[in-house]
Amino acid sequence: MKQAFKRTITTILLIFPAIFVLAQTTVSGVVTTKQGEPIPGVNIFIKDTYDGASSDDEGRFTFRTSENAKQVLMATFIGYKSWEQEIDLTSDIKLKIELQESVNTLDAVTITAGSFTADDEGRASVMKPLDIYTTPSANGDVMAAIRTMPGTQASADDGRLLVRGGDVYETATYIDGLVAAKPYYSKTPDVATRGRFSPSLFNGVQFNTGGYSAEYGQALSSVLVLNSTGKAENDNTGISLMSVGGEANHTSSWDKSSLMLSGGYINFSGYDKIFNSNIDWEKPVESVNGTAVFRYKPRSSGLFKAYVTTDYGNLAYNVPAGSDGHPMKISNRGTTVYSNLSYRDCISDKSCYRVGVSSTFQDQQTGLAADDVNTREWSVETRFALVHDLSEGVKLTWGANGTSHLYNQDYIQDEGETYTGEFDDHLLGVFVEPEIKFSKNLAIRPGIRSEYSSVINRWNVAPRFAVALKTGENAQLSGAWGMYHQTPQPDYLKLTTDLDFEKATHYILSYQFGDVSERLFRAEAYYKTYSDLVTYSAEENGLPSNLQNTGDGYAGGLDIFWRDQKTIKGFDYWVTYSYIDTKRKYKYYPEKATPEFISDHTFSVVGKYWVNKINTQIGMSFTAASGRPYNDPNSTVFNGEKTKMYSDLSLNFSHVFYLGNQYSVFYCSVNNVLGNDNILSYRPSDLADAQGNYNLIPVKRDLKRMVFMGLFLNF
């Protein structure tokens, strides 16, 4: 009946234009942020109708509607909460709409040291999910996007985070304050991996390159803290169609709770057939994954979060490294399950607490030619922390965590020999950390952490200290010092437990000037010393022997960050530069040397421009890095040679369109647009020529040029 009535009215209005004009009501106004800045491209419409408009460059909008009486006006835009308000269409309406940032997708990456605080959030790089998705070189990977931040290495052949001279294992990943023991998909030689967790699950990514809080341990170099989203406010169904697979998700929201279920499938077989890969694939990467996210908010101060994800992957390829002159087959398949349960609430208006438990289970089968390596790991962490506002200028945080780690590995050689390594470790950690604000210009944060590891039967004590001094309205000078410990890696503990903690000491001084929402400059100098690093001798069977804590080293350098979101309207860019000088003696190194994953100089620039008229964002990222050391067995100097400079120019664009009142995105990116044939390292073959010289095999990226397309639909 209603549709028939509308058709009749439409016919009448088409016949009588004058009446049509008089029967319509004008809705106009402006859309801004909480700070009063105009937001272009916002979709404003009357709910359950097609009447509406998009805001212009100044945030203004206007449209006419034949609807009457009371209706609901809505405004939606990526990165902001949906806005709605009941309006009376008996006369023209003029509104000022103020949008708030969404807890699910935030729209920028910022370094927040400009805010006056001595805590981690005040000195860390913070990246938001939308920024990860729109960084061309990242392809939706948290770790790849973080590598555009200062203090990191390009690591195109690895994919994991390498921070300020530290090895991969020296960076710990936390989700809602709980450790994620396996944050990456399995790593195999010559093939880069990527982060396991989707950026859309988090409302912020905090990356700290050193000098971090006493709340965290078991990381010699840095911590990556992922803060997950809260309760979803709306029902939503999403379908993603990608050039490498697909994904589907559905969210249901109720009064006090929400549930999100998602599943995905990835297969690179098509890429292997279309593009000329540098890898001799026998089975390109194939994986399937599933995720469930449940949120329950019993009251305003309380929130329960439950997050479970699982994935299965399979791959196989050949590398030219066989001792008999033939390629060696490398394969990997396995399953990983990660769960994270947490609850936070307040005891009073001055005391709040967080409790939680996380669990990681991984079962991996790796094939190395005719040898098989079967590894099973299970890690469970429980943690609690309490925060007390003791007075206006004093806040005290304290807590504890306990971690159980079960490890078992069978190395089955072709000859029938089986080597079994296993251990159980129970780690207990406690910390206390006050933050004291002497005035609006000076704050300090002393802290101390202590840990006990049962597998090595040793305690450690780690004092830490941070200070922040406000030197101007938008300027801050800050510093940090601290001691950090880490239990030796499972590859060592499976062979011997007669080891000690590895140790590092950080010294950091930084200066920052500017407004994080407009223009920001930051420079940070650091120096880091290592001691008690694990060293060993490499045996012919590939297993290490004579493991000891006799290694040491240092890393020092300068990181520079500049971001400008104001000079050119609609254009946002940031530039980073990192210099590092580092050497260490660890693993099988015969002498102190620069590790093979280090580039002395790394430069990155990322730019994004929003074209309002066509609802499209164009992005560019460029990374250049000086050559990395590699070991030539024909040389007398260990790690004495270097590769040529590495460079990568990547482009992308994202076109936003609406299906009803839900936004959808068409996305396309091209990595290494110029097709540079970057040599990332060299690996010596196992065969020597008549003169005793070994051939060097260049290590390159899987695909010289990567093209990715995706259609992300929301309903």
Residues 24 and 142 in one domain: no
Q: In this model, does residue 115 exceed pLDDT 50?
A: no
Q: In this model, does residue 409 exceed pLDDT 90?
A: yes
Chain mean pLDDT for the chain: 84
Tens-digit pLDDT profile for residues 664-686: 888 898 988 998 888 888 887 76
Quick one: pLDDT at residue 7? 43
Q: In this model, does residue 106 exceed pLDDT 60?
A: no
Q: In this model, does residue 9 exceed pLDDT 60?
A: no
Residues 28 and 144 in one domain: no
Tens-digit pLDDT profile for residues 347-362: 988 899 999 999 999 9
Q: What is the average per-residue pLDDT within 189-211?
A: 79
Residues 8 and 134 in one domain: no
Quick one: pLDDT at residue 126? 54
Rounded to whole angstroms, how far apart are CA atoms 626 and 388?
47
From the list 92, 215, 116, the residue with the least C-alpha distance to 443 is 116
Quick one: pLDDT at residue 204? 66
Residue 458 within any structural domain of the chain: yes
Quick one: pLDDT at residue 433? 92
Q: In this model, does residue 366 exceed pLDDT 70?
A: yes
From the list 332, 310, 306, the residue with the least C-alpha distance to 319 is 332
Rounded to whole angstroms, how far apart are CA atoms 147 and 143?
6
Quick one: pLDDT at residue 22? 43
Residues 74 and 123 in one domain: no
Domain count, the chain: 2
Q: Tell me the pLDDT band of 105, cut-offs 50, 70 and 90.
A: very low
Quick one: pLDDT at residue 120? 44
Tens-digit pLDDT profile for residues 218-238: 999 998 888 888 888 888 888
Residues 36 and 153 in one domain: no
Q: In this model, does residue 180 exceed pLDDT 80?
A: yes
Helical (H) or strand (E) element with 22: helix 17-23
3 by DSSP, 3-state: which?
helix
Q: In this model, does residue 629 exceed pLDDT 80?
A: yes
Quick one: pLDDT at residue 2? 39
Q: What is the average per-residue pLDDT within 636-648?
A: 92
User: Higher pLDDT residue, 271 or 423?
Assistant: 423
Residue 251 within any structural domain of the chain: no
Rounded to whole angstroms, how far apart are CA atoms 9 and 14?
9
Rounded to whole angstroms, how far apart are CA atoms 662 and 208?
35
CATH number for the domain harbouring residue 406: 2.40.170.20
User: Higher pLDDT residue, 318 or 376?
Assistant: 376
Q: What is the average per-residue pLDDT within 322-347?
A: 86
CATH number for the domain harbouring residue 85: 2.60.40.1120
DSSP E strands, 490-642: 502-514, 519-538, 544-564, 571-585, 601-611, 616-625, 629-630, 641-642
Quick one: pLDDT at residue 326? 75
Residue 45 within any structural domain of the chain: yes
Rounded to whole angstroms, how far apart are CA atoms 266 and 311?
11
Quick one: pLDDT at residue 119? 41
Residues 577 and 656 in one domain: yes
Who contacts 634 (Cβ-Cβ below 8 Å, separation ≥6)?
Answer: 693, 694
133 by DSSP, 3-state: which?
helix
For residue 629 the two structure tokens come to 């050391």
Residues 40 and 123 in one domain: no
Q: Tell me the pLDDT band of 127, cut-offs 50, 70 and 90.
A: low
Side chain identity at 294, as an amino acid letter? F
Domain that holds residue 92: 2-98
Q: Which of 64, 98, 132 is the last residue of a domain?
A: 98
Quick one: pLDDT at residue 542? 66
Q: Tell me the pLDDT band of 554, cut-offs 50, 70 and 90.
A: very high
Q: In this model, does residue 482 exceed pLDDT 90?
A: yes
Q: In this model, does residue 661 exceed pLDDT 80?
A: no
Residues 405 and 463 in one domain: yes
From the list 453, 372, 378, 439, the residue with the least C-alpha distance to 408 is 378
Quick one: pLDDT at residue 111? 23
567 by DSSP, 3-state: which?
coil
Tens-digit pLDDT profile for residues 43-61: 888 887 778 888 887 889 9
Q: Is 413 exposed, middle or buried (0-12, 13-18, 19+ CB in 10 A)?
A: middle
For residue 296 the two structure tokens come to 């329950």
Q: What is the average per-residue pLDDT within 198-206?
A: 74
Residues 162 and 14 in one domain: no
Q: How far is CA 163 from CA 153, 209, 210, 239, in A?
A: 7, 7, 9, 35
Q: Which of 98, 124, 139 is the last residue of a domain?
A: 98
CB-CB contact of 487 with 456 (8 Å): yes
Residue 237 within any structural domain of the chain: no
Name which of 315-324, 410-419, 481-490 the model is least confident about. Answer: 315-324
Residues 284 and 310 in one domain: yes
For residue 661 the two structure tokens come to 């009142």
Rounded to whole angstroms, how far apart are CA atoms 271 and 481?
47
* DSSP label at residue 516: T
DSSP bridge pairs for 714? 238
Rounded to whole angstroms, how far apart are CA atoms 6 and 689?
86
Q: Where are the alpha helices (DSSP H) in 152-276?
A: 269-274
Rounded to whole angstroms, how far apart are CA atoms 680 and 362?
29
Q: Tell me the pLDDT band of 338, cut-offs 50, 70 and 90.
A: very high
Residues 94 and 115 in one domain: no
Q: What is the average per-residue pLDDT within 188-204?
A: 79
Percent of the chain with pLDDT over 90: 42
Residue 212 within any structural domain of the chain: yes
Residues 90 and 124 in one domain: no
Q: In this model, does residue 23 exceed pLDDT 60?
A: no
Q: In this model, does residue 125 exceed pLDDT 70?
A: no
HEC string for 392-439: CCEEEEEEEEEEEEEEEEEEECCCCCEEEEEEEEEEEEEEEEEEEEEE
Q: Which backbone phi and psi does 31 adopt, to 5 degrees? A: -115, 130
Structure pTM?
0.80
Quick one: pLDDT at residue 692? 57
Q: Which of 47, 64, 98 is the last residue of a domain?
A: 98
From the list 644, 575, 573, the residue with the least C-alpha distance to 604 is 575
Name which of 23-37, 160-174, 244-258 the model is least confident about. Answer: 23-37
Q: Tell me the pLDDT band of 612, cut-offs 50, 70 and 90.
A: confident
Residue 443 within any structural domain of the chain: yes
For residue 57 the two structure tokens come to 């460059």
CB-CB contact of 445 with 436 (8 Å): yes
From the list 149, 112, 135, the residue with the least C-alpha distance to 560 is 149
Residue 249 within any structural domain of the chain: no
Side chain identity at 508, as an amino acid letter? I
Name which of 84-88, 436-440, 629-633 the model is least confident about. Answer: 436-440
Q: Which backbone phi and psi does 13 adopt, to 5 degrees? A: -70, -30
Cβ count within 10 A of residue 328: 19
Residue 347 within any structural domain of the chain: yes
Percent of the chain with pLDDT over 70: 89
Q: What is the average per-residue pLDDT within 102-113?
A: 31
